[in-house]
A and B are shown apart, each in its own frame.
Chain A
């Protein structure tokens, strides 16, 4: 538990620096600041990867079993997703929003009481590994590294959340940029962002990325629940809210197909979707009791 927390301290600083550099690049529009920001985002990603690896080694299971660990996974996935987006589309100014969100997530994780951070043994129902994978890894003596439905379920769900977080950041930028374009303002700090229609398209792409992952997370969770608890769906608040979130993003995707639901309207649905994600992740954990409540 020590090493993962040490890497957390490093990562905390890295994300702060990364967010500041991206904001600096956005405001001052200096290329070298942007390049340094991207490099720091890589360093932060590496450091977050080390948190997850160290925690897996310390706890003996995949590091997704409590609120702190899952937040690290969220930060990792969002950072990785953002870097892919930056690599493909070469828009750095967006990083100010995404890395800002990452840093807020790191502050939240930092402020969690210690009992939410400590690595605890998993109860028997959560100790599940795929036998076929254990059989594959056994000849190499690596069977203890096999994963199971729980790991797959949490991992895919969080990749989905990461896509939605990026889309949320992009939707906020879209709303600001659209207002700036409508008022005819050129240049200024909004001038660093690409055209509003491109941001809208990127936001859609981020949701299109996250949507199948959330679907996979929901289905794999159902498979696991059926396997472990005997019922694939219990209308547990977390399950219900994951479906609510999925419905909101399904509505978003359908709305884009119909004319006139792009731009502002789509951005509002994306923002509503991410608010549902936040409630699904934090609200359900703390407010609504259930099988998934990390905080219980």
Chain B
């Protein structure tokens, strides 16, 4: 008896489970679910932009932040890596995947008919009844149609790129994109490294991707080193236009009637055009590769991408003849005994400048010494200045590039699938597709073409395709 009862319970459970699975499948394959999931995603994303991301909960509470219970419960300060976000993303993924899975047979199966046929247009054909079928087929072919299905009462012809497979394909591409995101989420990591001239540095991230530990034999330290061979800064001269306040003067200049344009050219008119770091990838004594890394010109090696992110300017100064050397960075406060207020060194100007007349000049290397926003001196390497009676000597100035590096195995998949999605989506939206379901009836001994045309895509013009079809039909007859 107990066994029977247990079996019955198991059967009930299995039935309930099956019913649940069917319900889940039905819901996940529903277009309504897609609409609601997208709406919920949009709402949650808005929430993610309202709360400051990456902040600490305690700091947020101390600053008087509101909705503390909600913020804590849903990790709203780190929303885009929170479990809620992950669950939403999984639901979106499942929704697209199940929709695609369920619609695959509908989209790609051989078409047998075009559903019920209710003609919307009729054309009296200028052929004999016996020739009509063949002549209409020819006219359709000339108008760019191909017959794809036929049954006893009507035939179906198609023109252009069928939109259903395209729609299916770009959704499949979106699944691949989400997989790319997942690879990034679980395996990507990044870090920073500061290079010093003619020294080698190793990639040593403080933390790696969430699941990198699962990879056998994985070590976060690179087996190669980056060696900074050279570093240079290029400036460009960008004058400021003295803009006349008088509207008529502006109009006159704009129309070329007045050449009275004044440019203001100061030292501040120099703007950094580019930073260039010549980097060698070395292993032992071998150079594996070398190239210039610039902003927007990263170095890719060993699965990593290295970006020139920033430049740090650091200085060594001596006060009077004190053997103790003071070290500081550009923009940092430098407190010097005997000088009233903290000084700031920077910016350091060294490198080349492209003048307005396209001449390239080498800049005189020097750093500006500032106090309360005012320039008090300029120092070249080895040069000295007296500030408040205190002698300050610049011993050394170094510009060092800061590289950010990133290891992201999701990027190749994401790019490939992203490009695929965009191409297919563009074909689907901007292309054209026509489906002509037709039948030839005999009325009063004359053949009549009964036709229904459906279309999809922004370029689809049903009126025009009807005109073309009529043109070919009557041209054949003549």
Contacts and interface: CB of A to CB of B under 8 A. Distances in A.
A128 B458 CA distance: 33
B298 A211 contact: no
Contacts of B404: 229-230
Interface string A152-193: 000000000000000000000000000000000000000000
B164 to A, nearest CB: 11
Which of B35, B49, B430: most chain A Cβ within 10 A?
B49
A228 B295 contact: yes
B190 interface: yes
A121 B243 contact: no
A290 to B, nearest CB: 9
Interface stretch (A22-30, A68-76, A93-101, A241-249): A241-249
Interface stretch (B38-46, B69-77, B369-377, B386-394): B38-46
A257 interface: yes
B295 A254 contact: no
B307 A3 contact: no
A288 interface: yes
Interface string A21-39: 0000000000000000000
Which of A5, A123, A228, A230: most chain B Cβ within 10 A?
A230
A3 B258 CA distance: 12
Contact of A230 (B46, B190, B414, B430): B190
A247 B48 contact: no
A208 B296 CA distance: 33
A127 interface: yes
Interface string A110-129: 00001000100101110110
Interface string A176-217: 000000000000000000000000000001001101100110
Contact of B307 (A9, A114, A223, A230): A230
Contacts of B236: 121
B328 to A, nearest CB: 25
A240 B273 contact: no
Nearest to A290: B49
A215 B38 contact: no
Interface string B271-295: 1111100000000000000000011
A99 to B, nearest CB: 22
A247 B45 contact: yes
Contact of A6 (B238, B254, B296, B411): B254
B425 A215 contact: yes
B261 A2 contact: yes
B296 A231 contact: no
A295 to B, nearest CB: 16
A215 B422 contact: yes
A237 B458 contact: no
Contact of B406 (A125, A128, A231, A240): A231
A6 B251 contact: yes
A212 B45 contact: no
A2 B254 contact: yes
B222 interface: no
A176 B161 CA distance: 36
A250 interface: yes
B35 A251 contact: yes
A212 B458 CA distance: 12
B274 A127 contact: yes
B254 A216 contact: no
Interface residues of B, number: 53
Nearest to B238: A121
A146 B352 CA distance: 24
A212 to B, nearest CB: 5
Nearest to B297: A227
Contacts of A243: 45
A231 B192 CA distance: 13
B49 A215 contact: no
Nearest to B167: A257
Nearest to A121: B238
Contacts of B307: 228-230
B458 A205 contact: yes
Contacts of B255: 6
A124 B274 CA distance: 6
A230 B309 contact: yes
Given A212-B425, A248-B38, A227 B250 contact: no
A215 B296 CA distance: 23
Contacts of A1: 241, 243
B298 A5 contact: no
A219 B418 contact: yes
Contacts of B218: none
A240 B48 contact: yes
B421 interface: yes
Which of A205, A229, A243: most chain B Cβ within 10 A?
A229
Given A6-B254, A250-B38, A258-B35, A226 B411 contact: yes
Nearest to B40: A247
B335 interface: no
Interface string B395-428: 0000000001110100100110011011001100
A235 interface: yes
B295 A125 contact: yes
B34 interface: yes
Interface in A238-272: 240-241, 243-244, 247-248, 250-251, 254-255, 257-258, 261
Contacts of A294: none
A72 to B, nearest CB: 16
Nearest to A204: B458
A57 B35 CA distance: 45
23 contacts: A1-B241, A2-B250, A2-B254, A6-B255, A7-B254, A118-B243, A121-B238, A121-B271, A127-B273, A211-B429, A216-B426, A219-B421, A219-B422, A222-B418, A226-B305, A230-B307, A231-B190, A240-B45, A243-B45, A244-B42, A248-B38, A257-B31, A258-B35
Interface of A: 1-3, 5-7, 9, 114, 118, 121, 123-125, 127-128, 205, 208-209, 211-212, 215-216, 219, 222-223, 226-232, 235, 237, 240-241, 243-244, 247-248, 250-251, 254-255, 257-258, 261, 276, 284, 288
The 10 tightest CB contacts between A and B, nearest first, are: A6-B254, A251-B38, A124-B295, A230-B307, A247-B42, A121-B238, A2-B254, A128-B296, A237-B49, A3-B254
